[in-house]
Amino acid sequence: MPVKNRFAELQEEITEWRRDLHAHPEILFDTHRTAALVADKLRDFGCDEVMTGIGRTGVVGVIKGKANGSGKVIGLRADMDALPIHEQTGLDYASKTDGAMHACGHDGHTAMLLGATKYLSETRNFDGTVVVIFQPAEEGGGGGKEMCDEGLMTRWGIQEVYGMHNWPGQPLGSFAIRPGAFFAATDQFDITFEGKGGHAAKPHETVDSTVMAAQAVLALQTIASRNADPVDQVVVSVTSFQTSSNAFNVIPQKVDLRGTVRTMSAEMRDLAETRIAAICDGIAATFGGTVDVRYHRGYPCMVNHEEQTDFAAEVARKVAGDCATAPLIMGGEDFAYMLEERPGAYILVGNGDTAAVHHPEYNFNDAAIPAGCSWWAEIVETRMPAA
């Protein structure tokens, strides 16, 4: 793999950073230790500016090239937070925090961007400015949105922004990307059916909330099978079914359902929200009960910009010799907020044959570090070549 020689030299050091981060996972916005470590390293590297507390615990570093005739400003983003999962890897650098682990590889993303930052600060072999972005709370907290809401793009004049995620099952150090919709919008719903509770031996005297809820679990699947265009993507999953009574001989007064909706277009997102409410209203009316539907919009669909995607793939081919077409992914990614504010692209780097992300036995593959660092550095040096 034709990665930059400097990253082969730095790999052991970057691996040490990554494993330290892995042993000390922090969740959502509580990335205080991680943010402090990142900020200290950015200062040690000689970044021209280091700012903390952006999006609560986010960190931003600025690196100026040897020249600034181009006037270009490129943002590079890595996420820092872990997941509320108890680690089961048995590694000697496993999580020291019960109930928290880096089960998605954000420790690797942070370490790779730190490695790229060190290299870019040493060489400054580009014409323009680089803004490195270390973001908290990707895993459901919307840290990307908070950083954008605090003026991330305008404050530093970012013109384009690029991100990366490791991908288990993809060959180690290889790359994959796609233009347009890439990661799904991630919404949630809470539904409460209410009937008339009573003795299970006298169902005729009740309005059975469990029957209504059970009908809804099945009927909601018709959104994908009968309402959606078969070539569009939508997932509606009921993931929790809780009754207001746990007794074997009681028909409960209420049943609460929870679940998620994943879509790849604004139109399908609107359709899913409308149909969930209509289906549940109809079921409640049919059985003589009532229903309360609460629909919560989460991360928007992450959409790669075409020109920047072509460029990111070109850089990936320089680093790894090839760049595959990535599949559509129904998981969410709050880099979507940054791509709504500026053109850019998000790429996958292969983690090899490892456990899947969000699994208690997952671990970021340190052998991917040179490829990831090289891609970020090449994005800068290729987009803003020095004279």
Active-site amino acid positions: 81, 138
- The Cβ of residue 7 has, within 10 Å, a number of other Cβ atoms equal to 22
Rg (CA), the chain: 24
Among 241, 238, 331, 230, CA closest to 279? 238
Contacts 24+ apart (CB under 8 A), 4-10: 4/119, 4/370, 4/373, 4/374, 4/377, 4/378, 6/119, 6/122, 6/123, 7/115, 7/119, 7/369, 7/370, 7/373, 7/374, 7/377, 8/370, 10/115, 10/118, 10/119, 10/373
Question: Does residue 358 have a known ligand-binding role?
Answer: yes
Is 104 annotated for ligand binding?
Answer: yes
Sign of the Cα pseudo-torsion (275, 277, 280, 283, in order):
negative
Distance in angstroms (rounded) separating the CA atoms of residues 344 and 253:
50
| Residue whose structure tokens are 């929200």 | 273
> Quick one: CA dihedral 110, 114, 116, 121, positive or negative?
positive
Q: Are 133 and 117 within 8 A, CB to CB?
A: no
**Residue type at 264 in one-letter notation:** M
Phi first, then psi: give them for residue 192, nearest 5 degrees.
-120, 115
Q: Is 86 a known ligand-binding residue?
A: no
The verdict on whether residue 47 carries a ligand-binding annotation is no
CA distances from 306 to 61, 157, 312, 313, 376 (A): 27, 21, 10, 11, 18
Query: 287, exposed or middle or buried, with CB in 10 Å at 0-12, 13-18, 19+?
Result: middle
Annotated binding-site residue? 305: no
Q: What is the spatial distance between Cα 93 and Cα 140, in angstroms, rounded to a whole number?
A: 25
Residues flagged as binding site for Mn(2+): 104, 106, 139, 165, 358
Q: Residues at the annotated binding site?
A: 104, 106, 139, 165, 358
